[in-house]
Amino acid sequence: MNTLSNKGLGPIDVDAIREGAKRLDDGAIPAGYQGNREEIIEMLNAALATELVCALRYKRHYFTASGLVNEPIKAEFLEHAQQEEEHADQIAERIVQLNGEPDFNPHTIAQRSHAEYDECTDIKGMIRANLIAERVAIESYRQMIERIGDSDPTTRHLLINIMAVEEEHADDMKDLLDL
């Protein structure tokens, strides 16, 4: 038996790891994966829908905000839209890594999203709607991270990183609202 000792934590069974890795039907997921894949994929598809709705809302606000004085705010909306799209891509990639299918169905995205779309026409209303949506996303990610716990460190790490950016977005919207 091929084992590696790691200073008092017991040996790592390298032979078992190698044997488990030969089962290729699980794709990138090793035999020791502890997460509830179906539940995590469902949560990630809800997060995907949320990110897509947020990207669309920010894009709408970017294109519909008017006035020369609002150009810096429009630029912030566009930057956030692009970051939300990046989050959506990262989440979709993780779903595929978990042997799931990312759900981009336009007929159900709004229903699956935790955040709401917004059609405000005044700049303060747009900022307020984005701040509320960011707060919804942050709390949703916090709860997902809590539910996942240590069972899927890769997904947990991804969601923590995304949540940190959402917190920056919320802070940006709060600053704009206070202007």
- What is the residue extent of each domain of the chain? 1-32, 36-177
Q: 142 near 170, Cβ under 8 Å?
A: no
Q: Average pLDDT over the chain, rounded to whole?
A: 91
Q: What is the pLDDT of residues 124-152, one digit of tens each?
A: 999 999 999 999 999 999 999 999 999 99
Helix, strand, coil % over all residues of the chain, rounded to 5: 70, 5, 25
User: CA angle, corner 51, sides to 165 and 94, nearest 5?
Assistant: 85
Cα–Cα distance list, 133 to 54, 57, 138, 169, 173 (Å): 7, 10, 9, 10, 10
Of the ranges 9-13, 59-63, 93-97, 107-111, which one carries the lowest mean pLDDT score? 9-13
Query: Which residues are CB-neighbours of 132 under 8 A, at least 6 positions away?
Result: 115, 116
- What is the CATH code of the structural domain delimited by 36-177? 1.20.1260.10
- DSSP state for residue 108 in the 8-state scheme: T
Per the DSSP assignment, residues forming a β-bridge with 12 are 4
43: amino acid identity, one letter: M
Residue 30 neighbours by CB distance under 10 Å: 11
Separation of alpha carbons 119 and 92, rounded Å: 26
Q: State residue 45 phi and psi, 5-degree precision.
A: -65, -35
| Residue 42 vs residue 25, higher pLDDT | 42
